[in-house]
Structures are given as structure tokens and as C-alpha cells.
Amino acid sequence: MVNNASMDIGALWTCGTKLSLHTKPQMPPCDFIPEKYKALPYNRVLEIHEQHLSPVVTAYFKKPLLLHQGHMEWLFDSDGNRYLDFFSGIVTVSVGHCHPKINTEAQEQLNRLWHTSTVFFHAPVHEYAEKLSALLPDPLKVIFLTNSGSEANDLAMLLARAHTNSTDIISFRGAYHGCSPYTLGLTSVGSYKTELPVGTGCQATMCPDVFHGPWGGSHCRDSPVQTTRKCSCAPESCQAKDLYVEQFKDTLNTVVAKSVAGFFAEPIQGVNGVIQYPKGFLKEAFQLVREKGGVCIADEIQTGFGRLGSHFWGFQTHGVLPDIVTMAKGIGNGFPMAAVVTTPEIAKSLSKRLLHFNTFGGNPLACAIGSAVLKVIKEDILQENSHEVGTYMLLKLAKLRDEFDIVGDVRGKGLMIGMEMVKDKSSRQPLPREEVNQIHEACKQMGLLIGRGGIFFQTFRIAPSMCITKPEVDFAVEVIRSALIQHMERRAE
């Protein structure tokens, strides 16, 4: 187990029964000293979890981490061990754990007013609405505040259907748009599907994945790192995009009604392992949906708020203007908060049909925190940092792809990165889950926390807080490289 920054983690590395001789990566310094853990013992936490919490197995690692405290890009467990957090609470802690500026704003609001509801006015919600709307292009200026991404996407589905008087909504295979009964229809990842009747009226279309799909190659995606697949596309004309558009047309001509309610798209798929589409695809798909009478929804729950670096919103990287935008996760730096932003026309379509009400959406504390997040992103120049440090990390990870045959693909933009593990580059078949688990565990043992994604959980999802530095990237890449070397040693035994 990792101890505080000084412990020689390398002494604990083993490959079967043979001690590894590799030099351990040196964890960057951190001047924050966590409080001593004084809460429930670990074994008691396990007992309570087994007896009273959801039986669905979601915890990472053979021995789940019992986290105690966080500071910026760092997490500390109940034993005082320090970890570099490169998954950010599932792409949620946008500007850093317990960011001091946000803590100050939250504490001031906490002392002033925790909660009131939309039947009363309060300044924080109006201040936040003005700040958020200023970051979105016309006519996206009407904001519905909610509590989670699933709830935001629920509402976006309702808005689309109320405005169009149609039912069918299209999403990509591999899409994740939430786990509520309504959004489960949109989510198209096998492990989230159920035999129970949920989310009716949703249809999944082919994901234009240039690494695993039938078309695509080395010129197709908006990333500093391209797939190593050979590409027949010209630099200014993506043949793969055209072929995927034909598949999208086939969906519109066969499995939905003559008119549709809408189309949901993540600018980059998150849960499916940071999947990027061919350049220009979304622009043509949006046009086709609108010709069918539908509206276009950008799910920015993981991609928004500057994480992609080059733009504040993911949809801007595709050169499109959605009719509805949903956002959550990084909006509150981990505080439960979400939003749906749409046009006045679409908003009025809903108000004519029902009285929409949300008890906790837009409460004073959430809005004060949301405003503080926007302030920190601007003052700390975090969007620019995402671009610079994210590009730096992508290029370093690409060198690992060139070094190891089991690293099939490295992709992403800014600080939303996927590293897909394969049996070998020629087959592109997913590396077995138990082998991916071993690499994942080894990274944790060396003090690095990363995520997992993909249909077969074969892709490492790397999405740190936007405050990270290049020295921390250097450490993370060396940890991953060391974990890969350990794994290759195990294979050779």
C-alpha cells in the first residue's frame, strides 16, 4: 500500500514470486497535510456497506479505497496514503478537490442561506443564470437547474418531445446518458441495459468509432493523437465520415417514424472509453435530424466547462449549435448540480404543457458554488491549462502506445483521454478484464488513480482535475509505463 510521499513503493512490487528491479516513479511533492482519520474502522465500513448500501458491485480494486480527504489533485485514504487523482470522481471534480476559493464561497453562503425553493427569489440563482448564459451562444439562453446529469437528460428528453410532438429519440451505440428509468433508454452500454421496460421510444444508431468501427484511420479525429489504422481519407475530405453518415441516414429511414423528437450526442463519449467521431460527422447528423423535425441535444456532462481545452463546450469543437445542452458533473466541482439550457421557443413548448418544478434545483448553495467554479476556471486559466497539459499528456501516452503492443489506441482532447488495452494491435480485441484489472491495481499501488471504460472495461479513462501540472503528468505516465512493464513480465513467466 502507498504510504505518504516518502515511502519506497518500489519495494512492494512483485511479479509472481520474483521481486521487480524497476526503479519506482517518484511521486511529486504536496505541501498539504491531511487530518488524521478518526471515523469508522475499515472493517466496520465494509460491514455497513454489505448490510445497508446498494448491492450493485461498483467499487474499484480488490480492497476498495476508504477515502478521507482531498486537496486539489490529491486524495488521501483512511491510512494517510496519498494518491494522484486522475479520474476526478468520474470526471466530476473539475477544478480540484476542496478548492480553497470554492470552499470560501460555499462557507459564506452556508452561513447565509442553505435552501429556499423556486417559489421565492434569491440572488445566487439569478447571478448564476446570468453568468452561465453569457458562456453560451444565442439563442441558448433559458436555463433549467436540476441536481444530476440523469435528471438533466430526463428533462431534455421531455423538452424535445413537448416541442416536436414526436416520440422517437436517437442516440449512439455506446452512449451513456444516465441511469434513471427514463435515460436508460438512451444509454446504450450492455452492462446498463435491463430486461425491464424503461425508456421507451429510444433508438440506437451506429457509433462512428474510427478505431473499432468499420471505417476510419489516421486523419479522422480532432485529437493531437490519431489512430494507427491506415486511412484512405484525404486531409481535407474524410471518407469515413461520409460512410458513417450513410449509416445514420439508414437509421432515419428504417427504425424511426417519419418525424423524430431529437438526437442525443456526447461530443466525446465518456463511459464508452473516450470515443471520438470523424471530423464533420456531427454537423451533418444535426442537419439530417432537423430535416426530420427533430431537435439536437449536446450532452456536455463530461465534456463541458473547458475540459477539452480548445473550447469551453464540446459541441464547439464540432462546429455545431445544439437546440438543447445538458450539463452536470464539473458544473459544481462535485457538488450535486446540473442544468439544461435551451432556446426560449423550446422552453415555452414545455411551459404550455405542464408546470415544471424542482425542489432542490438552483438552491442558493448550489448556485453559489456554481458561480465560484466559473470564477476559478477563468482566474486560474484552467481551460488553457487543459489544452496545454492535456496535449502534453496525450503525446506522452502515445509513446507508450508505440512501445507496448497491448496499448491499442490513445485518444482524446484536452484532459479527457482514453488509453485502450488490446490483446495485440493487429486484432484490436480487448485485453481480458482480469489483465486490465492487474494493470489498474498496479497503478493504484504506485499512487495513481485512473478510471475504466469501454464496452468490455478495456479502456483506461484519464480525466484529472484541470489544475494538474506537467510534472504530475510525468509521474502518471511513468506509473502507467511501470505497470505495463510489470504486466509484460507476468505474461513472460
Q: What is the pLDDT of residues 95-138, one digit of tens each?
A: 999 999 999 999 999 999 999 988 899 999 999 999 999 999 99
Q: Is 279 part of any domain?
A: yes
Q: Is 93 part of any domain?
A: no
Average pLDDT over residues 454-481: 98
Q: How far apart are CA 105 and CA 368, in angstroms?
A: 7
Q: Is 218 part of any domain?
A: yes
Co-location of 110 and 63 in the same domain: no
Residue 359: how many other CB atoms lie within 10 Å: 10
Position 18 confidence tier, pLDDT thresholds 50, 70, 90: very low
CATH number for the domain harbouring residue 225: 3.40.640.10
Co-location of 317 and 275 in the same domain: yes
Q: Is 1 part of any domain?
A: no
Co-location of 24 and 39 in the same domain: yes
> Among 348, 379, 410, which residue terminates a domain?
379
Co-location of 335 and 428 in the same domain: no
Co-location of 358 and 387 in the same domain: no
Co-location of 170 and 217 in the same domain: yes
Query: Pairing mode, if any, of strands 338-342 and 324-327?
Result: antiparallel
Q: Look at residue 344 and give its three-state secondary structure.
A: helix
Q: How far apart are CA 155 and CA 164, in angstroms?
A: 14
Number of domains making up the chain: 2
Position 235 confidence tier, pLDDT thresholds 50, 70, 90: low
The pTM of the full predicted model, rounded to 2 decimals, is: 0.94
Q: Is 91 part of any domain?
A: no
Q: Is 449 part of any domain?
A: yes
> Among 361, 379, 397, which residue terminates a domain?
379
Its domain, for residue 476, covers 9-86+382-492
Position 192 confidence tier, pLDDT thresholds 50, 70, 90: confident
Position 13 confidence tier, pLDDT thresholds 50, 70, 90: very low
So what's the pLDDT on residue 14?
36
> Among 335, 356, 379, which residue terminates a domain?
379
Co-location of 295 and 403 in the same domain: no
Comparing 225-234, 371-380, 453-462, 473-482, the range with the smallest average pLDDT is: 225-234
Cis peptide before 139 (omega within 30 of 0): yes
Co-location of 70 and 114 in the same domain: no
Residue 95: which residues within 8 A CB-CB, separation 6 or more? 102, 330, 333, 373, 376, 377, 380, 382, 465, 466, 467
Q: Is 92 part of any domain?
A: no
User: For 244-301, what is each residue's pLDDT tens digit?
Assistant: 999 999 999 999 999 999 999 999 999 999 999 999 999 999 999 999 999 999 999 9
Co-location of 317 and 407 in the same domain: no
Position 7 confidence tier, pLDDT thresholds 50, 70, 90: very low
Co-location of 204 and 64 in the same domain: no
Q: Is 341 part of any domain?
A: yes
Co-location of 60 and 197 in the same domain: no
Q: How far apart are CA 387 and CA 395, in angstroms?
A: 12
pLDDT at 76 over 50: yes
User: Cell for 203?
Assistant: 433508438
Co-location of 125 and 227 in the same domain: yes
CATH number for the domain harbouring residue 64: 3.90.1150.10
So what's the pLDDT on residue 445?
96
